[in-house]
A and B are shown apart, each in its own frame.
Chain A
Amino acid sequence: MGKKIQINKEFVDIMPQDYLDLVDNGTYESPNRGWKDFGTATELIAEHSLCAGCPESIAFRHIMASIPNPEDTVMVGSTGCTSLVFPMIAVHNIHSLFGNQNAIATGLKRALAVRFPDRVKDVIVLAGDGATVDIGLDMTLQSWFRKERFTTICFDNELYANTGGQESGLMQKGFLAKMAPVGKKFEKVRLPEIARESGCDYVAIMTASKPSLVEKVIKQAVLIAREVGPTYIQIYTPCILEIGKQSMEGLQEMRTSEAPGERFKFREFISPEAQSFLDGLAEKKKAEKLAATGATS
């Protein structure tokens, strides 16, 4: 079987150099994709228009480097800063109405199963906290209740950053934003716990400060969503403009927020079914490794 991603020979001379790089030097169909490809392979994201030093773009890079098979993945985005990046990624993607992303992903996943019954197709929803928790909470929860098999990733920046800093459900209590000067009066919505109770088989809450951890979590989430059930990841991607930080301070902000006892300390929930699936994967990998070393020695 030939490569899935290739260029029609007649178009090679008129394609832009970035496109040729992606085909020749991209990481499609690479079995061990990960953040280690950074710097040597061409990334599946290019020249986005996010602000200088935006932590969301760090998270986006790590995620694009980690998804297990990008050539067979469709991402669903929603309105917000993430929708500025989706036109710049080299994976199939759909822009949905604000808040509709999980409903669209549901239909997409089912349609792909009918259209490509013999191929594995992953669907990944990537939206901000406004789309996931406030405007699209209905669609988000209903997709988990129905046990739809796709991954939901929430970029949690704790406010509506794209429109100037309004209060969001995931904002922490007492926080003052530019367009929410009174301060939030309620607690931050505990969506990871809600996700666990709503039927998600894998839930993780984290920041984007450790690429190896992001890679591990994304891979687990996509593989579990493929075989077991819905998965949910909440990643803290602070908006440096709205919380009054300089462009180089985003990383420190993420590290501070994941300290022990802080609100983004890494937590994950794995259901018993998902855990036995992961154990099976680990055993298979171990056996393969053993067979490989046995063959060489």
Chain B
Amino acid sequence: MYNVAEVNAEECVAQKGCRLCIMYCPEANCIQMDTTKMVATIVESRCKGCELCVVVCDAAKHNAIKMVAR
């Protein structure tokens, strides 16, 4: 079992200009911006499951990312 991040598209506020998870993810090209739907999307094969995105998202009270088992 391996934990990866998952974005809840309804809670994600990327269209308001939020880029917190993309900014602080330690992995390159791991959290991508879906420019048509304006939500952050996780490239699961690159996610190491560190939960930093969850921490910054929760700290900003958006609560849009949670860890899921794969």
Taking Cβ atoms with an 8 Å cutoff, the residues of A that contact B are 35-36, 38-40, 42-43, 45-48, 50-55, 57-58, 61, 64, 211, 247-252
Most A C-beta atoms less than 10 A away, residue of B24, B26, B29: B26
How far does the alpha carbon of A42 sit from the alpha carbon of B32 in the complex, in Å? 9
- B1-35 residues with Cβ-Cβ distance < 8 A to A are 19, 22-29, 31-33, 35
Q: Which residues of B contact A45 (CB under 8 A)?
A: 28
Which residues in B have their C-beta under 8 angstroms from that of A247? 48-52
Question: 26 A-B pairs, CB-CB below 8 angstroms?
Answer: A35-B23, A39-B33, A39-B40, A40-B32, A40-B35, A45-B28, A46-B28, A46-B29, A47-B27, A47-B46, A48-B28, A52-B50, A53-B26, A55-B26, A57-B26, A61-B25, A61-B26, A211-B23, A247-B51, A247-B52, A248-B50, A248-B51, A248-B55, A251-B24, A251-B52, A252-B55
Q: Chain B residues near A250 (CB, 8 Å)? A: 26, 52
Q: Tell me the minimal C-beta distance from A40 to chain B in angstroms.
A: 5
Closest 10 CB pairs of A and B: A53-B50, A39-B33, A52-B48, A248-B51, A52-B50, A247-B50, A57-B26, A39-B22, A43-B28, A45-B28
Contact call A248/B52, Cβ cutoff below 8 A? yes
- Report A238 CB to chain B, min CB distance, Å: 12
Instruction: With both chains docked as a complex, state the minimum distance between the C-beta of A53 and any C-beta of chain B, in angstroms.
Output: 3
- Which residue, A47, A50, A52, A57, has most C-beta atoms of chain B within 10 A? A52
Interface size class of B (residues with CB under 8 A): 20 to 34
A235 to B23, CA, bound (A): 17
Chain A proximity of B20: nearest CB distance (Å): 10
Contacts of A51 in B (CB 8 A): 48
Taking the closest CB of chain B, its distance from the CB of A234, in whole angstroms, is 20
Nearest chain-A residue to B31 (Cβ)? A39
**Closest partner residue, chain B, to A43 (CB atom):** B28
Which residues of chain B come closer than 8 Å to A52, judged between CB atoms?
26, 48-50
Q: Is B56 in contact with A251, judged by CB distance below 8 angstroms?
A: yes
Residues of A within 8 A of B31 (CB): 39
Q: How far is the CA of A231 from the CA of B55 in the complex (A)?
A: 34
Cα distance A50–B48 in the bound complex, in angstroms: 10
- Chain A residues lying within 8 Å of B54, measured Cβ to Cβ, are 248
A61-B26, A247-B48 provided; 7 other pairs, C-beta below 8 A? A39-B31, A42-B29, A47-B28, A211-B23, A247-B51, A248-B50, A251-B56
- Chain A residues, CB < 8 A from B25: 58, 61
Interchain CA distance A74-B47 in the complex, whole Å: 29
| Contact A54:B55 (CB < 8 A) given known A39-B19, A248-B50 | no
A43 touches B26 (CB 8 A): no
Q: Which residue of B lies closest to A65 (CB)?
A: B28
| Docked-complex contact A43 and B29, CB < 8 angstroms | yes
**Residues of B with C-beta under 8 A to A48:** 27-28
- Distance to closest chain A CB from B9 (angstroms): 15
- What residues of B have a CB within 8 angstroms of the CB of A53 in the complex? 26, 48, 50-52
Central interface residue in A35, A47, A64, by most chain B CB within 10 Å: A47
Q: How far is the CA of A47 from the CA of B26 in the complex (A)?
A: 10
Q: Which residues of the other chain, B, contact A61 by a CB distance below 8 angstroms?
A: 25-26, 28
A224 vs B30: C-alpha distance in the bound complex, in angstroms? Answer: 32
